[in-house]
Amino acid sequence: MNLSDYKRLTVASLDGLARLLQLLTNYFKVEVGRKLLDHMQQWANPQLLQAALEKSIEDMHEIKILVAILKVFHLLPSSASVLLDDLVSSVVNLEVHLCRRESSPFRKPLFKFLNRYPAESAVYFIERIESTHFARIFAHAISCPESGPLREALVNQTPMLIDLLNSFSEQPRADTAMPVDEEKADPAEQARDSGDLVYKRLYIAMSVVALIHTCMEYTPLWLEERSDLLSALLEAWSAANSLTVITDQVSRLAKPVLIEHLVRSLLLATRAMSNPPSILFKLLEISGHSSGAIDVSFIFQYVWTELITKWSIAKRREILSAFLLRLGDSSISDEANSTLLQHLINPMVATVFTLPSIAAHDSGVGDADVTASGHLSQEQRSAELLRGQVISLIHQRVWVLHMSSSAQAMAVTKASVRLELVQLSSILMRHAVSAVADLRKDIIKFGWIFIRNDDIMIKNASYVLVSQFIAAFDTPAKITLQAYSSLLKAHQVESR
């Protein structure tokens, strides 16, 4: 066929060239691709692009020829990787003028070319990720089922992604002091430049997290294999969360998008890794903190339907132990502990006793002396959940730490955490009396301290705990009368 005149190109002739390249690839030179790029530029003239805005472009003869030209490139010799920049730039130019994105007819043939040279393509797009159109094209390419080589190449470029995330996480915040530029005497101009840099890196971080989320739809174990990437993601979330005032409209949208992609990435990771406590806890912490910015109801729904109602008692014991071990850690916020208690720990412990179908172990086999019906008895359930160090951890990290009202003895300062700890104690008092009987003195001290709390919800929850204690154990009449007398006063408006 004659490639000297672009007007003589037809869809049939280009299809014939493609078939010939499949058979005789090594007989052609990369110059064939350069000539085709020149013809693309001639076909994509301004008059054509303007006319295409008013028509269905899929039916236009010129567009069909452009698509047919693109279909040839992935069949060119291996040295055709040098055409990557020119080819992608040409497609970007076409899409911008035609106002097309995912519906662009040019992307499918372009993606074949990118998957022919995945390593070069991954580096090329990562280096241009600050460009909106380049970032979107790459994310679309990664999302295609046929783009396995491209996703593998992206995973291999994990260090580049970490560097981009760290450049956002480690930079000074927009509202912190920046080094003075003596050439810019105007402080307002310096502040504006500083803010622009922060917002630019926020957008880049958002694009990186979006890429990671898209890739993890196919490679969910990525974060398990690269803990450094997980750390970089969490640092990026902390950095984005610290941006309390964002004046730029695009950046204001970038923050919740980054958080949502991060949450969904962590969900994919924790699901694929059988819900390790560290990642599951971080997922819930971020979800609880971000509930005002994005819809995280699907996370809490997943935790309830897929974990809390299905976990064996052995798995619950593992999760409960991991939570109790970190309960006194000053580096973990009360807000995080409150979210975990409310959405995971307390429901998880309560359902041990309220869902009879729960097995003792993941294999579905409980202890040797299960009941005749095949289910564990209430006492067996409590013994299975609280065996080993678990009951000791609850004793030391929940009850003992709160037996004094001194500031040093209080393990937490947030009322919501105290409330959840009182409710956890009530669950155990209601369903696991025999397991906690030896610790009853510390339990009643714990409950009695919080009866004097100023928060009315904590006070009433403590009365419930004390009442359950009185019902379960022989209690001095003095304590019983004090509790009863105080409950009689609960008719007051502030106590309702």
Label each residue of 183-228 as H, E or C.
CCCCHHHHHHHHHHHHHHHHHHHHHHHHHHHHHHCCCCCHHHHCHH
At residue 495, the pLDDT reads 47
Compute CA distances 317 → 349, 393, 431, 442, whole Å: 9, 12, 16, 22
Q: Is the pTM of this model over 0.75?
A: yes
At residue 357, the pLDDT reads 81
Give the helix ranges, DSSP H, for 99-145: 107-116, 118-127, 132-143
DSSP element (H, E) containing 162: helix 158-169
Compute CA distances 241 → 35, 103, 114, 202, whole Å: 50, 34, 35, 11
Nearest to 414 by CA among 319, 496, 342, 487: 342
The answer for 99, left when phi > 0, alpha when psi is -120 to 50, beta otherwise, is left
Check if the beta carbon of residue 335 is closer than 8 Å to that of residue 288: yes
Check if the beta carbon of residue 318 is closer than 8 Å to that of residue 277: yes
Q: How many CA atoms lie within 13 A of 198 on its CB side?
A: 27
Ordered DSSP codes for 258-294: HHHHHHHHHHHHHHHTT--HHHHHHHHHHHHHTTTTS
Sign of CA dihedral 355, 361, 362, 368: negative
The answer for 274, left when phi > 0, alpha when psi is -120 to 50, beta otherwise, is left
Nearest-angstrom CA–CA distance, 18 and 42: 20
Nearest-angstrom CA–CA distance, 293 and 27: 58
DSSP label at residue 344: I
Max Cα–Cα distance, the chain, nearest Å: 106
Nearest-angstrom CA–CA distance, 225 and 221: 6
At residue 361, the pLDDT reads 80
Angle between helices 84-98 and 61-73 (to 10 degrees): 160
Check if the beta carbon of residue 312 is closer than 8 Å to that of residue 361: yes
CB atoms under 10 Å from CB of 411, counted, come to 17
Q: What is the pLDDT along the chain (496 residues), one digit of tens a residue?
A: 555 555 667 777 777 777 767 766 665 667 777 888 888 887 777 777 777 776 777 777 778 888 888 888 888 888 888 999 999 999 998 888 777 778 888 999 999 999 999 999 999 999 999 999 999 999 999 999 999 999 999 999 999 999 999 999 887 654 444 444 555 445 445 445 556 788 888 999 999 999 999 999 999 999 999 999 999 999 999 998 888 766 666 667 888 999 999 999 999 999 999 889 999 999 999 999 988 888 999 999 999 999 999 999 999 999 999 999 998 788 888 999 999 999 999 999 999 999 888 888 876 444 444 443 347 888 889 999 998 899 999 999 999 887 655 444 455 568 889 999 999 999 999 999 999 999 999 999 999 888 888 888 888 899 999 999 999 998 888 888 888 887 777 666 454 4
DSSP label at residue 332: S
Nearest-angstrom CA–CA distance, 217 and 268: 7
Ordered DSSP codes for 58-108: GG-HHHHHHHHHHHHHTTS-GGGGGGHHHHHHHHHHHHHHHT-STT-TTHH
Check if the beta carbon of residue 453 is closer than 8 Å to that of residue 410: no
Check if the beta carbon of residue 302 is closer than 8 Å to that of residue 267: yes
